[in-house]
Chain A
Amino acid sequence: MANRPLAEAKCLPAALGLGGLAAVLALTEMLIRLGWVNRFIVPLPSEVFVSFERIILEENVLSRFLATAGEALAAAFLVSLTGVALGAFLHRHRLLRRACESWVAGLAAAPLVLLYPLFLVIFGRNALTIVMIGFVSGLPPAILKTVEGFAGTPKVLLDVGRSFSLSPSQLFWKIAFPSALPVIFVGVRLGLMFSLINIVGVEFLINFGGLGQLVNELAERYDLAAMYAAICFVILVSVFFFIASEKLERWLLRSA
């Protein structure tokens, strides 16, 4: 009896979300069919749905999905490691932190993707360029949130550790890091979003690689339905990373 509301509460949000999405799609379909929305600007949701088959069979969307996901994974890996390490470093060195924090924040808002010619010159027209742009653009939120996470660690928790004679490295790994982890992961997730947006953006701009290039090609052919279907795969990459990051966070907390 006591478990039932809990079980309901678990599926209810998901059901509401999916139901809401279906309702919006149905409404869009209706508005287009009634002629209230121009179908040359917004394709019919049913056409988008049908074109999934086409882009899977004809446009190799799955291998493009893997290419973009792979680039995003490489960027995510670099963002997490470098961002958390730099954040921890800045937290330790107050002067440096105060010197850097505001321009790192500024960098987070900069459209780094527009620097792609520079990256092309340095890394060439290949996946490395794309990964590096994803990495650089995802870095600032990861750094900032890591600093914030460590700064928010309650002093008393560290005192507990010191009272049990923990070494500095034990204090870090057993207390400061797990305590900061939830906030760090907010930063990592934000960084992942920034990375993915910029990765797809630069694929689009340099017409190279995964889903971004496909979106570019479909747009040039004015195949709007297929283009929207391709964008759905970009969203799929992001969903995939979101779930993976939550799993990783839980695993890290459990092993801390």
Chain B
Amino acid sequence: MTGGSAGEDGSTVEAAGGTPVLRVENIVKRFVTDSATVTAVDHVSFTVAQGEVLSIIGPSGCGKSTLFNVIGGLAEADEGRVVVEGRLMSGPDPAIGMVFQEESTFPWRTVGDNVAFALEVAGMARAERTKRVRHYLELVGLKGFEQHHPAQLSGGMRQRVAIARTLAFGPKVLLMDEPFAALDEQTRLLLGDKVLQIQQELAQTTLLITHSIAEAVQLSDRVLVMTYRPGRVKRIVDIKLPRPRTAEIIGSKDFGLYVAEIWSDLRGEASLGMKDAEAHLPQAE
């Protein structure tokens, strides 16, 4: 049905047209524990083009967060490399902005000061900072909330603050690890809409990690399906739905077809993951 370029052999999967901003090449990450060595990420390669949204989808425990940390420079890969606009990454870099799954706003700072955080640390002048903060808060739909504290906002609003904080630093690549996972269904859909709108407005190159198929299809140009243990690239699916997209697209027939296609890829992996989790239950301490 849809032509996705497969990459199970580990070869670099090229971005669909356009120059790649992010190149992830042959990343391997192992965890050595007392009992065993777990290969969490096994020779994963892909690229993301300028302005493109690539989603990575896979069952729980397949290595998505590990990959997120490696690409963001918070964890070191055992093999492989990450290149942004031709520059080899070594550790955290302003070229990559990260948005985390967990609650990550600073509760002691106001919303405005949260968004200003990285700019302030980087020594940007106050006037310029204020201007930027205002701009990005407006972009995420939180105009007028500068003086509020995170505790006064809803979970979805706090996650938007975190997104604004990351975007305000002007990353080339926006990297998000299940940013909506902690939110309820409606909030998640609305926030997905918002992210889509922002992404289109900024033409922001985005790598989104998710375990929700609908979210992946709704937001992405391409969806990368990961295998469970070791985490490999199973397939990359092109999503040829028209842009600009809104949440309304979720009801369409094509949307359903994409979801079904990705689910058929994912089903085997997900059940593997589930069996694995169940097999470990008796030994769980």
Contact A164:B118 (CB < 8 A) given known A178-B108, A179-B108, A256-B108: yes
B145 within 8 A of A: no
CB of A159 within 8 A of CB of B117, answer no
Number of A-B contacts (CB under 8 A): 54
Interface residues of B in 72-124 (CB under 8 A from A): 72-74, 91-94, 96-98, 100, 102-104, 106-109, 117-118, 121-122
CA distance A170 to B102 in the complex (A): 22
CB of B102 within 8 A of CB of A154, answer yes
CB neighbours (8 Å) of B180 from chain A are: none
CB of B93 within 8 A of CB of A165, answer yes
B46 within 8 A of A: no
CB neighbours (8 Å) of A23 from chain B are: none
CB of A163 within 8 A of CB of B103, answer no
B215 smallest CB distance to A (angstroms): 21
CB of A164 within 8 A of CB of B108, answer no
CB of B102 within 8 A of CB of A156, answer yes
Contact A156:B121 (CB < 8 A) given known A164-B169, A179-B108, A256-B108: no
CB of B100 within 8 A of CB of A159, answer yes
CB neighbours (8 Å) of B73 from chain A are: 163
Question: Binding site of A, secondary structure by majority: helix, strand, loop or mixed?
Answer: helix
Contact A181:B108 (CB < 8 A) given known A164-B169, A165-B94, A170-B121: yes
CB of B72 within 8 A of CB of A163, answer yes
CB neighbours (8 Å) of B93 from chain A are: 165
**A 225-256 to B, binary, CB cutoff 8 A, 1 in contact else 0:** 00000000000000000000000000001001
**B 126-165 to A, binary, CB cutoff 8 A, 1 in contact else 0:** 0000000000000000000000000000000000001001
A179 smallest CB distance to B (angstroms): 7
| Interface positions of A (Cβ within 8 A of B) | 154, 156-157, 159-160, 162-166, 170, 174-175, 178-179, 181, 253, 256
Known: A162-B92, A175-B106. 15 other contacts (CB 8 A): A154-B104, A156-B102, A159-B74, A159-B98, A159-B104, A160-B100, A160-B117, A163-B74, A163-B98, A164-B92, A164-B117, A164-B118, A166-B121, A179-B107, A181-B108
